Amino acid sequence: MKKNISLVIADDHEIFRDGLALMLNKQENMTLVGQAGNGRELVQIVADKQPDIVLTDIKMPYLDGIAACRLLLQQYPELKIIALSMFEEEDLIVEMLEAGAKGYLLKNADKKEIQEAILTVDEGNIFYCKHTSNRLASLIVKSKFEPHRKKSGDLFTERERQIIQLICRQHTAQEIGNQLFLSKRTVEGYRTRILEK
């Protein structure tokens, strides 16, 4: 007998959420145990319901999907998260994967693809949306996203260690970016992540 997969969905667009909920409630081996309209609600519902999988929008009020993903995976390392996004949010998809999401779906994905994503991620695999653009594929390849890296490892990535060394040498974000061929904004993003860690 197939196990029942418990799911929570988070999206600030109620109509989209209701449509997704309706579809998921019709699946035999899946149970929707909660819905959230923002990141804060999502964290609370996951604490209460302890689902197997979360499908979450990346852009949400109060706490976005990326911050919620990091927070949830610190508390529940076994939780599997699938990002929901729009076509033009490719940089955010990469950030979401780097934060620990196990896959992503575009919001216009059909029922079959949503089911496939849930089953793939439930089995411990990574799910890439069928409509992955060349640009997104190349962003993922260049990113720090390493799906098979174990969580228990060095606290800082190699790139973060390089940045820490340069910060300690009093370099500005712009100077660090110039040395490592990164934009100033990217360096500032790393700095924020380093401080969070």
Please check the confidence at residue 151 and state whether its pLDDT lies above 60: no
- The dihedral built from the CA positions of residue 72, 78, 83 and 89, taken in this order, carries a sign that is positive
Partners of 6 in the β-ladder: 31
| pLDDT-derived band at 148, boundaries 50, 70, 90 | low
Please check the confidence at residue 134 and state whether its pLDDT lies above 90: no
Please check the confidence at residue 160 and state whether its pLDDT lies above 80: yes
Selection from 20, 183, 9 nearest residue 113 by Cα: 20
CB 174 within 8 A of CB 184: yes
Selection from 49, 55, 23 nearest residue 120 by Cα: 55
pLDDT digits (tens, 9 = 90+) for 32-81: 999 999 999 999 999 999 999 999 999 898 889 999 999 999 999 999 99
Give the mean pLDDT of 75-93. Answer: 85
